[in-house]
Amino acid sequence: MDEALIRSLTPGVLTVLVRRGADFAAAEDAVQDALVEAVRGWPDDPPRDPKGWLVTVAWRRFLDATRADTARRRREDRAEEEPAPGPAPGVDDTLQLYFLCAHPSLTPSSAVALTLRAVGGLTTRQIARAYLVPEATMAQRISRAKRTVSGVRFDRPGDVATVLRVLYLVFNEGYSGDVDLAAEAIRLTRQLAASVDHPEVAGLLALMLLHHARRAARTAPDGSLVPLAEQDRGRWDTASIAEGVRILQAALARDRLGEFQAQAAIAALHADAPTAGETDWVQIVEWYDELARLTDSPVVRLNRAVAVSEADGPRAGLAELAALDDTLPRHTAVAAYLHERDGDLDTAARLYAEAAHKAPDLAERDHLVRQAARLNSRHRQGR
């Protein structure tokens, strides 16, 4: 089974069903049924036109469900609309589907969850892990979102700001999760930038390019995480960095600053430094000040505490950290890092071990375990 092919075809198949008149929730269920049939049958008998096969099977599944749930006249009308088998249209409606999922009646978190499930192809468990909520809670959220957009047609676009938020979180899931969606998020953001005159769209595209440029250096050959300061900068994609900086400069010149532009400016300063030691942390702190003003996000303030520690010393960073809620994700890991920089290795080792138990994924957990082991080993050798 070519899982990448399945994932790439799913949005287009879902779009075809919605265009034919299926409501979103029923269409999504029908597509999932078709995917199950593909998993069962394709390894032994792969179709010549995979998308056309999925459209045909999904539409039949939808009709079966419709016949069970609607009046006789409506059943007959829809059945007559079934087209003859043949190649499916090659139109890419994925971005339009993002706008459907970003319907104004949905909360941003529900819109993101629905998009990750229906368009991104993530499982409910993967989405729940990204949101740090129980799987049952996320399943209910997605079900409510599907009911909300049932019957919504493509002529009712969602909010651009919500679509940007969805694309940003899809990119982050692809960048750090176990399903690769980052390249797809960049492709769709390029489409959006070409069709919408909005500086934050450009800011998001620049941010994605600057982060994606470092991807090859983020992991060692054994799959372990490599912190930014230890990455081989020769492995960074200089073409993507140059493009990201160019797009960012054009967006900033419009003097309509938004959070994605501010984040991209921070990423650009990291990318501009020839070595970790030459990073302009003073400017980064200033950009975090702007970002905190724009978002009032505690996570931003957590990252700012790290930047302050680099610019003004670990004691200053710890003072910033003390003002934040210690239940924040990665708060314990940041505390461990700052205590290590301050020379308190016993406390740092304990906090690294504690942070490992709270890590959101296996790679991060293993990294934190190694940090704790490194400090404990150094402590034993110093005795």
- Give how far Cα 372 sits from Cα of 201, 302, 313, 357, Å: 40, 21, 22, 12
**Res 154: pLDDT:** 47
pTM of the model as a whole: 0.73
> 103 — alpha (psi -120 to 50), left (phi > 0) or beta?
beta
pLDDT > 70? residue 382: no
Q: Give the angle subtended at the CA of 126 by the CAs of 159 and 53, to the nearest 5°.
A: 75
- Give how far Cα 127 sits from Cα of 35, 141, 172, 183, 359, Å: 19, 11, 12, 18, 16
How much of the chain, in percent, has pLDDT values that exceed 90?
A: 45
Q: What is the pLDDT of residues 323-362, one digit of tens each?
A: 999 999 899 999 999 999 999 999 999 999 999 999 877 8
Q: Rounded to a whole number, what is the distance in angstroms from the first to the last CA of the chain?
A: 56
> 342 — alpha (psi -120 to 50), left (phi > 0) or beta?
alpha
The structure tokens listed for 364 are 């991060």
**Res 182: pLDDT:** 84
Q: What is the pLDDT of residues 356-381, one digit of tens each?
A: 999 877 889 999 999 999 998 876 66
The structure tokens listed for 147 are 């009911």
Q: What is the pLDDT of residues 92-145, one digit of tens each?
A: 567 777 777 777 777 777 777 887 777 767 778 877 776 667 888 888 888 888
DSSP state of 180: -
**pLDDT band of 175, cuts 50, 70, 90:** low
Q: Answer yes or no: are the C-beta atoms of 158 and 149 closer than 8 Å.
A: no
Neighbours of 92 (CB within 10 A): 15
**Res 156: pLDDT:** 52
